[in-house]
């Protein structure tokens, strides 16, 4: 299957600082990537859809000025958590699909996730 790589896997930062998380599609091009957040013992919740060359689309309740998304190339999307606070501590996971030549539904693959702890 397609490989999605996410970095870093774990980060601890001080309150008020910013953290950047990278998501790369290693063996395919992804015009669209998705960012999810998962709190302990809960399911994955979609935060935003990252679109190559255009603005991200954020889900209701997600602050776009706090969670900056940049999709500058067909293989890289970044999520920057700005002015992080302890309540931003969570598990962040990115996802992408390898559409290839298919116009039909395709399988989604996920990065390893980033565990963010804000102290």
Q: Which of 76, 110 has the CB closer to another protein? A: 110
Residues 6+ apart with CB under 8 A from 36: 44, 45, 46, 47, 92, 93, 94, 95
Nearest distance from C-beta of residue 50 to another protein, angstroms? 11
Nearest distance from C-beta of residue 24 to another protein, angstroms? 16
Contact 53, 71 (CB under 8 A): yes
The bridge status of strand 90-97 relative to strand 76-81 is unpaired
Contact positions vs another protein (CB under 8 A): 1, 34, 38, 42-46, 49, 91, 93, 95, 97, 99, 104-110, 112-113, 115
Nearest distance from C-beta of residue 9 to another protein, angstroms? 8
């Amino acid at each position: 299957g397609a490989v999605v790589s996410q970095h870093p896997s774990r980060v601890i930062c001080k309150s008020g600082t910013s953290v950047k998380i990278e998501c790369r599609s290693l063996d395919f091009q992804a015009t669209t990537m998705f960012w999810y957040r998962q709190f302990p013992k809960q399911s994955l919740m979609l935060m935003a859809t990252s679109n190559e060359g255009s603005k991200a689309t954020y889900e209701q309740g997600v602050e776009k000025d706090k969670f900056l998304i940049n999709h500058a190339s067909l293989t890289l999307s970044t999520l920057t958590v700005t002015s992080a606070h302890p309540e931003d501590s969570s598990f962040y996971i990115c996802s992408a699909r390898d559409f290839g030549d298919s116009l039909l539904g395709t399988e989604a693959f996920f990065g390893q996730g980033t565990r963010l702890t804000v102290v």
